[in-house]
Amino acid sequence: MVPLNYFLILAAILFSIGVIGFVMKRNVITMFMSIELMLNSVNLTFVAFSRYIQNLSGQIFVFFVMVIAAAEAAVGLAIIVALYRNRESLNVDEADRMKL
């Protein structure tokens, strides 16, 4: 049986990679993917704790995080499409005004 620590360390590494990607990338789509990566690593922590504490609430939380991720992806990608339509660019440095 794999100890709980290993799952937590894996989740920590994935989360950090997501943070690096979010800060380093300037392309808004890749930044979005980094957010998905971070959400996934948190989900992994939830499931691991749910298994080791013998409580199903952790898995329910993962379920809700997935709902949030889906809603976020739908709205966020719609914003990306609107941004691209107005600015012809996906660089976040160029999207610094809310007005056109």
Partner 1 sequence: MMTFDQILFYALAVIAVLSAIMVITRRNPVHSALFLITTLFCVAGIYLQLHAEFLAAVQVIVYVGGIMVLFLFVIMLVNLETLSQERRFNRQWHIAILVSVVLLVEFGTIIWRGKAALQLPANQPLMDTLTTNNSEQLGVVLYQQYMLPFEIASFLLLVAIIGAVILAKRRLSSDGK
Residues 67-96 that bind partner 1 (CB under 8 A): 67-75, 77-82, 84-85, 88-91
Nearer to partner 1 among residue 25 and residue 95 (C-beta): 25
Size of the site for partner 1 (CB under 8 A): 71
Q: What is the spatial distance between Cα 54 and Cα 50, in angstroms, rounded to a whole number? A: 6
The 16-35 site mask, x for binding partner 1 (CB under 8 A), equals xxxxxx-xxxxx-xx-xxx-
Q: Which of 1, 96, 97, 98 binds partner 1 (CB under 8 A)?
A: 1
DSSP calls for 31-84: HHHHHHHHHHHHHHHHHHHHHHHT-THHHHHHHHHHHHHHHHHHHHHHHHHHHH
